[in-house]
Amino acid sequence: MRGFRADCRAGVAKAWGIGGVIMFVLATLAVVWLAQRPVSSGGAEVEAIRFLEQIRMGKIERAWEATSTEFKSFVGRERLRKTVQANTLLQQPLELESKQSVAIGPLSLIECLFRSTHVTETRVRVLLAPTKQGHWQVERLEIQEH
């Protein structure tokens, strides 16, 4: 009888060992899947509105600080300041007209189009990129005249 019990215990231990390996593999796959999941676009709209509101209120430095590294290297602080000064549209209240996902090369971005309540032909396009932490940062700012 003792041999049978020892065999049972060994079988149970082996089953737990295999089960533990399976659980580890499943947990690893879940982490990888969650990391590769698309980031929710809900925060992108909020970040775009915050960015434009800071610009409208004259807080250009604060708006620029919240942008992506690519935006900072491409636009620069002074260029953003000059863009705001040259486009009175950015100094007016803007409302969100549309939001959609766009792909530019390998990047999956969110495009928010804003319009003024006064000037209907011109749009402000804000492209946002996800960060590694799951937040959104302004990647591009464009004034589109129709």
Residue 44 has a CB neighbour count (10 Å cut-off) of: 25
Task: Give CA–CA dist 141/54, Å, rounded.
Answer: 14
| DSSP letter for each residue of 77-123 | HHHHHHHHHH-GGGGS-EEEEEEEEEEETTEEEEEEEEEESS-SSEE
Q: Is the pTM of this model over 0.75?
A: no
In this prediction, residue 2 carries a pLDDT of 59
In this prediction, residue 5 carries a pLDDT of 66
> Cβ distance 95 to 77 under 8 Å?
no
% of the chain at pLDDT higher than 90? 55
Assigned fold of 42-145: Nuclear Transport Factor 2; Chain: A, (3.10.450)
% of the chain at pLDDT higher than 70? 72
* Token pair for 116: 């003024």
Per residue in 79-98, pLDDT (tens digit) is 999 999 999 899 999 999 99
State the average pLDDT over residues 48-57. 96
* Token pair for 121: 């032909």
Q: What is the DSSP letter of 133?
A: T
Query: Which residues lie across from 129 on neighbouring strands?
Result: 137
Task: Answer yes or no: is pLDDT of 11 > 80.
Answer: no
Per residue in 67-76, pLDDT (tens digit) is 999 999 999 9
For the chain, domain boundaries: 1-37, 42-145
Q: What percentage of the chain's residues is helix, strand, coil (to nearest 5)?
A: 50, 30, 20
| More confidently predicted of 33 and 107 | 107
Report the chain's mean pLDDT, rounded to a whole number. Answer: 82
